Amino acid sequence: MDFFKDFNQLIISALIVTLVLVCFIIFFIYLIYRYNKNLLRKNNEMFKAVIDAGEQEKLELSRNLHDQVIPLLAISKLQVESFDAMSGQEGEDFKAELTDILSKSIDELRGICHNSSPMLFKELGLQKSLSNFFRKLQIAENSPEIQFQFPDQIKMSMDSELSIYRILLELVNNTLKYAHAKHILINAQLNSKNDILINYQDDGQGTDLIHLGHGLLSIKSRVTLLDGEVHFQSKKNEGFLTMIKLPAKLLI
């Protein structure tokens, strides 16, 4: 009888110890979860601060170029047009060449201001800003053909849309720099849960080993700040695919 009593006490003691250990493990896992969650939140805050600082710098650069550099170039253009030091055909050719150079410089600076300025983006919105950028891009020789589909019902805050704009411009920049693609396809849609799905695909040279350089890391950071997911796929000679999924809560 004493044996069974001692055995039961041993079992109870073992169960108590096991329960304490399980509770300790659960508590330890909870602490790790809280630590990782706080670390992720701090990283997101850091990424957001870096991106906000970058946007502020772009806005300041845009203002300085627009308010200071472009007027000086415009005045220089007028002065060149009225320049009569050289006579005859040589003077006319010289004036025409300098005027053309200054005109192109002004246009390029205006383009930089427009692409960098959140104020202009606020006026046009995501779809029109992208359409304008792609239209100007395709004027260039050997530029890829771009097919762009972004439904009007996908509306978000300006900050969210500006992030998507920067993401897509970075993807286009990567295609132009590395892919030598002939076609780019950008498609956005809503799934059954109203999550926002954005696919970016080019038919460039592709790669079997995706290197997360500054550009792709910047894209991942921006998507993370939007509480989204991003996946990159590529194979040699089969192009590059970027799949972005953003939560429905971003819709307005």
- How many distinct structural domains can be found in the chain? 2
247 and 178 together in one domain: yes
Q: What is the pLDDT of residues 55-85, one digit of tens each?
A: 666 665 666 565 555 555 665 666 566 566 5
| Residue 98 is assigned to a structural domain of this protein | yes
| Residue 128 is assigned to a structural domain of this protein | no
Residue 246: CATH number of its domain? 3.30.565.10
Q: Is the pLDDT of residue 190 over 90?
A: yes
242 and 161 together in one domain: yes
Tell me which residue range forms the domain holding 158. Answer: 143-252
How far is residue 178's CA from residue 191's CA, in Å, rounded to a whole number? 31
109 and 165 together in one domain: no
Whole-structure pTM value: 0.62
163 and 226 together in one domain: yes
Contact by Cβ (8 Å): 194, 251: yes
Band (pLDDT 50/70/90 cuts) for residue 233 is: very high
3-state SS of 22-57 is: HHHHHHHHHHHHHHHHHHHHHHHHHHHHHHHHHHHH
pLDDT of the residue at 149: 92
62 and 172 together in one domain: no
Across the range 148-154, mean pLDDT stands at 90
155 and 111 together in one domain: no
